[in-house]
């Protein structure tokens, strides 16, 4: 038996064992082809792109059956948890570490396979060996979500370490059609050797959601659904609006379509009919108001502004203004392409009661009429006024993101609203 045949046999045994012992993972793994990426140059361990699991023969040869089971489940969970699509502005190395801590803690707690413990190979070091072992693990991260782990790693400025597998970087090495190109990068560097486009990621999300639900139903029927995955399944079958998704939709809605007569539409000219051509206005104009009466912590502010920063930098032209308020407005600043990096270090002020008219009046007095107002608040207003203190309903389109909204069940009288959860995610 050749080395390749031996490894393929080990993988087949691992998949079959998963199918019977852990039907949730078994169904998902069986539906994803395994690709030998040993000779691709970028995959020293394993990787996943949502549709395929990539592996390195040399790495898998060193693993026993239980370790291969662990690695296969590890790859599946990256896709099920949508780790690629949730990174946003975050540092890729800490984000990759956070994802691995979450997955490895779950698999270890549920006793699914065994986490590999062989030394990590780092080609940048002489001899390739490091003191680090494959698999990042810390028991305290069990039942944490990736955003919370990331915040912990970033706050403590922990040493950046290699992860078990190669992590994808959205759109960096693939073209808009999702074609992949190797770049020789190693695990944990945030770039990986494969990438997918945003369009392909959306399609994969739809596919994986259906497959995850189907796999969960099969596992539940067999009484073998790991308890640690109950939250993931609940989010998929009874979803709550994610404030990040709604924020992205609202900012996207700022881009308006208009028509121009300067360049007639050629499609109708042959019949003697002159029609205007579509003109795309890609200027995003957003005003953000932060309720600093005590409902928002510094960590929440960083989370919110970081999300807005990540969204803004995906547009060619934008203006985003930010102010804080309690009973008065504070620290109004405007950010464009020229100074958007400063948004991440914006200084917050306030701490008294809550008057929504504080920011409405400030905008009105300074002739500020944004396409979209985004207000982060707990929804508790100190006084009455227009719409019971919420402000004018017809000033501009408004998105209210409510701190602790699920518990308070507060409903603004106008505009769209959703609930904010710190570091919200499904893992």
pLDDT digits (tens, 9 = 90+) for 277-289: 434 456 789 999 9
Q: How far apart are the first and last CA of the chain?
A: 41
Q: What pLDDT, on a 0 to 100 scale, did the predictor assign at position 86? A: 79
Q: What pLDDT, on a 0 to 100 scale, did the predictor assign at position 122? A: 58
Report strand pairing: 53-55 vs 34-36: parallel
Q: What pLDDT, on a 0 to 100 scale, did the predictor assign at position 411? A: 82
Strands lying side by side in the sheet with 34-36: 34-36, 53-55, 46-48
Radius of gyration of the chain (CA): 25
Q: What pLDDT, on a 0 to 100 scale, did the predictor assign at position 130? A: 54
Residue 306 to residue 343: CA distance in whole angstroms: 8
Name residues of the chain where pLDDT drops below 50.
Answer: 172-192, 257-280, 407
Alpha helix (H) ranges present in 226-385? 230-237, 243-252, 298-312, 357-365
CATH 3.40.50, domain 244-420, yes or no = yes
Q: What pLDDT, on a 0 to 100 scale, did the predictor assign at position 109? A: 94
Q: Is the pTM of this model over 0.75?
A: no
Where in the chain are all domains bearing CATH 3.40.50?
A: 244-420
Q: What pLDDT, on a 0 to 100 scale, did the predictor assign at position 178? A: 33
Residue 372 to residue 375: CA distance in whole angstroms: 10
Closest CA to 215 of 202, 205, 226, 204: 226
């Amino acid at each position: 038996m050749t080395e390749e045949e031996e490894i393929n046999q080990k993988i087949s045994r691992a998949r079959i064992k998963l199918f019977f012992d852990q039907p949730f993972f078994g169904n998902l793994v069986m539906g994803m082809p395994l690709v030998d990426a040993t000779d691709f140059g970028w995959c020293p361990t394993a990787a996943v792109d949502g549709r395929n699991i990539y592996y390195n023969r040399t790495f898998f040869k060193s693993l026993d059956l239980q370790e291969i089971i662990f690695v296969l489940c590890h790859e599946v969970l990256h896709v099920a948890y949508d780790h690629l699509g949730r990174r946003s502005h975050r540092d890729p190395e800490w984000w990759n570490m956070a994802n691995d801590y979450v997955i490895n803690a779950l698999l270890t707690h549920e006793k699914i396979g065994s986490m590999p413990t062989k030394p990590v190979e780092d080609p940048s070091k002489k001899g390739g060996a490091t003191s680090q072992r494959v698999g990042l693990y810390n028991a305290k991260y069990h039942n944490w979500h990736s955003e919370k782990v990331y915040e912990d790693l970033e706050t403590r400025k922990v040493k950046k370490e290699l992860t078990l597998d190669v992590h994808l970087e959205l759109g960096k090495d693939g073209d808009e059609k999702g074609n992949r190109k190797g770049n020789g990068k190693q695990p944990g560097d945030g770039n990986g050797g494969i990438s997918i486009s945003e369009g392909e990621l959306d399609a994969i999300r739809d596919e994986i959601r259906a497959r995850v639900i189907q796999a969960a139903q099969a596992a539940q029927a067999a009484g073998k659904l790991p308890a640690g995955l109950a939250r993931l399944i609940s989010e998929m079958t009874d979803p709550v609006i994610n404030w990040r998704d709604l924020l992205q939709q609202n900012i996207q809605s700022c881009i308006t379509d208009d028509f121009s007569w300067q360049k007639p539409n050629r499609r109708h000219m042959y019949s003697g009919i002159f029609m205007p051509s579509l003109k795309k206005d890609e200027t995003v104009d957003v005003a953000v108001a932060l309720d600093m009466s005590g409902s928002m912590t510094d960590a929440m502010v960083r989370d919110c502004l970081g999300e807005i920063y990540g969204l803004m930098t995906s547009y060619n032209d934008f203006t985003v203004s930010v102010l804080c308020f309690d009973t008065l407005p504070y620290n109004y600043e405007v950010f464009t392409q020229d100074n958007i990096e400063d948004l991440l270090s914006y200084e917050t002020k306030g701490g008294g009661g809550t008057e929504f008219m504080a920011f409405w009046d400030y905008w009105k007095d300074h002739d500020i009429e944004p396409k979209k107002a985004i207000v982060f608040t707990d929804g508790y207003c100190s006084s009455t006024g227009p719409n019971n203190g919420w402000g004018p309903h017809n000033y501009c389109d408004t998105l209210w993101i409510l701190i602790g909204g699920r518990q308070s069940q507060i409903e603004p009288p106008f505009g769209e609203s959703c609930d904010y959860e710190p570091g919200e995610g499904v893992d």
